Structure 1
Amino acid sequence: MNHDIAEGKWKQLVGEARTAWGELTDDELAKAEGRADKLAGLIQERYGKTRKQAELEVRRFFDSNRDF
């Protein structure tokens, strides 16, 4: 999924993101604004993952939610 498109559809994807990363708060997800870099940073910080791991998770998340 084009990450620019994801920003426009972020409100629809928040529920899916909440399921994928349950430790992220609604406020954190709102701050991400559907931007892959922001979301990866939040995941990295909250879950203690490397930047590369977090970016891979985000890429897979957006790719698996192409229908939105």
Structure 2
Amino acid sequence: MNRDEAGGNWKQFKGKVKEQWGKLTDDDMTVIEGKRDQLVGKIQERYGYEKDQADKEVTDWESRNDYRW
């Protein structure tokens, strides 16, 4: 997968990310821009989760949505 494909996939899934984690802002989404580690960090920040909990939520979300970074 090249960078353009990854960016397109991110645009497709951005809405699903915001459905799952409604506390994430548009500015957060701009920072995340398809980067898994940034998503985990923002979930930690917005929800007060430990890194392991945020990582598990992202892993579960990836499985449900068949999303590949």
TM range (shorter): 0.7 to 0.9
Q: Percent identity?
A: 42
TM-score, scaled relative to structure 2: 0.81
Aligned partners of 1:47, 1:13: CA distance in 2, in Å?
A: 20
TM-score, scaled relative to structure 1: 0.82
Question: Is the Cα–Cα contact under 8 Å of residues 36 and 59 in structure 1 kept in the other structure?
Answer: no
Q: Which runs of 5+ in 2 are unaligned?
A: none
Alignment: residue pair count: 64
Counterpart of 2:65 in structure 1 is: 65
Higher relative contact order (CA 8 A, sep 6+): 1
Q: How far apart are 1:67 and its partner, in Å?
A: 6.8
Q: Which runs of 5+ in 1 are unaligned?
A: none
Secondary structure of 1:49's aligned partner: coil
User: 1:36-67 deviations in whole A, cap 9, x for unaligned?
Assistant: 11100000011000000000111111111117
Q: Measured at CA, do residues 22 and 59 of structure 1 come closer, stay the same or move farther in structure 2, by a change above 3 Å?
A: same
Root mean square deviation, CA, Å? 2.3
